[in-house]
A and B are shown apart, each in its own frame.
Chain A
């Protein structure tokens, strides 16, 4: 009896194996793609789309470096695109397979470094700002100084991202957020340490839920995430501090070793179909820089100054650039901030 059972189980083993049909593996930020589009794509191309999520560019990079080959499409921010391209981790794109590139909004190209779209196509652009609960928090003049306000101690969060936190402190002091001047970085460290005393934690992911459930009252956050929160709790508001902030463009790229590069091209093209781009923007509340899509956007999104960035804001803000070897300076400052009591 036991032997039969055992043999039966052993026979199951190969069945549990690793058979595959046509699957597009994508590695993306969470809540960053309208699921209806995935379903539509699956039907149109008769394939399966499997999505995994990362929470920071560094985590994406570390995973790919660590041998997580097999992703067909990834969504790094543009500074990470430069690093990966330099490291030979990305395939050159075949523009013939992506006719919708003609719709790309040229005015946002300055947010990326890969302006010829050799390795990447812009997916979404957004800003880092402050999400807060209207009615519980006074925000007359939006400023990073809010994190020094003890009134909200223990109910605020900063992003768990060294460049964003140190960058906010640098901006607050009036410096560039890509500085490599150690005196400026030291000053920024002091500011960030003072902020740290008032925050509940460094948090890049849960702040959206935290704002919705009133766990947090003030959060440094990404524009679209905060606005997704508004759909569940209408007291949430989003502002960009007067000192300026960081802007970013998340791009689509195909890693070397992709198993379905052709399907990945098709997916890029599909996401830049004007109607699809618009429905995606409506869903994620970031802006897909696709000129032809703007007319399909919902009124609400069209009028939102946080989706369509104000030129004045853009003028004061910067894009985070990778600093190569100088990056170590930021790691050091970040260690110091994290260890400070």
Chain B
């Protein structure tokens, strides 16, 4: 019995540091965002006294649906394109010769670790209206001299895909590594076509990797702020830009909080649900999570 209590004490002792830190600096601020959404704003950028539903009502702003829709579809499109490219890549990497694997892996990891501002900047140089890509496309007659490659939704999408592709490849590769490829051959021996074996045997076999990949692309994409800021045009705003504008330009913290609260709910509720399901179904935890 004494053993149980000392065990319990020890558990608390080694859990406390991270729990306290994250409660004070993660949980409390997140709750604060929700609380401030119900505060009035003062014209001089402060947070007023008392409670109000005014800010929540302002979320019915007729301009928001367009921004939310743009945010969602850009994030979804980014996720779909990233997965579409990542699955064949991961398949190839997992089946590559042992000698090549570390090289391929390193080639994928390097962009993942490169400062993302620099990667965005590289595209700005490349897509310059009188830059290299434009000249090439002009030469082969794919664009008109007056077409602009940057400052539109396509450019934002392109750079989003570029930024998150390696996030998608890594977990799928981790899953494909563990996949038993003889199953594919077996399926084909039993008469399945190559496509069918791929769809019905390989994809289900790496489903955990696919889910992780989809989440690590979709969620950060939802919160994008810098990419639409640098690559987007006058109509390229996403929710992240609106939040930044409310904080840094409009001096309206409650309104920014309300927007942030909506985004938080959109992200966290499904996530917590997934974690809970996973943890209850399977005591071994998501390994890919750290990736």
Contact = CB atoms under 8 A, between A and B. Distances in A.
Interface of A: 56, 58-59, 61-63, 65, 83, 87, 153-155, 158, 162, 196, 199-202, 213-215, 324-325, 327-328, 331, 335-336, 338-341
A65 B46 contact: yes
Given A154-B148, A200-B150, A339-B67, A58 B251 contact: yes
B233 A335 contact: no
Nearest first, the 6 A-B pairs at minimum CB distance are A339-B63, A154-B148, A200-B151, A58-B249, A59-B248, A62-B248
A196 B235 CA distance: 9
Interface residues of B, number: 28
Q: DSSP majority for the A interface?
A: helix
Given A61-B45, A83-B44, A215-B128, A154 B146 contact: yes
B148 A200 contact: yes
Contacts of B128: 213, 215
A277 B290 CA distance: 55
Contact of A196 (B62, B129, B234): B234
A324 B42 CA distance: 10
B248 A154 contact: no
Contacts of A83: 44
Nearest to B230: A206
Contacts of B63: 335-336, 338-339
Contacts of B43: 324-325, 327-328
B24 interface: no
Interface in B20-55: 43-46
Contacts of A338: 63, 234-235, 237
A2 to B, nearest CB: 19
B130 A62 contact: no
Nearest to B149: A154
Nearest to B249: A58
Contact of B251 (A65, A202, A339): A65
A200 to B, nearest CB: 4
B232 interface: yes
A66 to B, nearest CB: 8
B44 A87 contact: yes
Contacts of A59: 248-249
Nearest to A87: B44
Contacts of A214: 129-130
8 contacts: A62-B251, A154-B129, A162-B249, A196-B234, A200-B233, A339-B63, A340-B235, A341-B235
B66 interface: yes
Interface in B43-94: 43-46, 61-63, 66-67
A340 B233 CA distance: 12
B151 A154 contact: yes
Nearest to B65: A339
A63 B146 CA distance: 40
B250 interface: yes
B184 interface: no
Contacts of B147: 154
A61 B234 contact: no
Given A56-B249, A65-B251, 13 more contacts: A62-B45, A154-B147, A158-B234, A162-B249, A196-B235, A199-B233, A199-B234, A200-B151, A200-B233, A201-B151, A201-B232, A201-B233, A335-B63
A77 to B, nearest CB: 14
A162 B248 CA distance: 13
Nearest to A209: B124
B267 interface: no
A341 B44 CA distance: 31
B247 interface: yes
A195 to B, nearest CB: 9
Contacts of B129: 154-155, 214-215
Given A87-B44, A213-B128, A155 B235 contact: no
B64 to A, nearest CB: 8
B112 to A, nearest CB: 26
Contacts of A199: 233-234
A166 to B, nearest CB: 14
Contacts of B45: 61-62, 65
Contacts of A65: 45-46, 251
Most chain B beta-carbon contacts within 10 A, residue among A154, A196, A325: A154
Nearest to B41: A328
A7 to B, nearest CB: 18
A283 B32 CA distance: 46
Contact of B234 (A162, A202, A324): A202
A153 B247 CA distance: 31
A8 B151 CA distance: 50
A299 to B, nearest CB: 34
A273 to B, nearest CB: 34
Contacts of B46: 65
Interface string B228-256: 00001111110000000001111100000
Contacts of A155: 129, 148
B146 A153 contact: yes
A297 B234 CA distance: 39
B100 to A, nearest CB: 34
Interface centre among B66, B128, B234, B237 (most CB of A within 10 A): B234
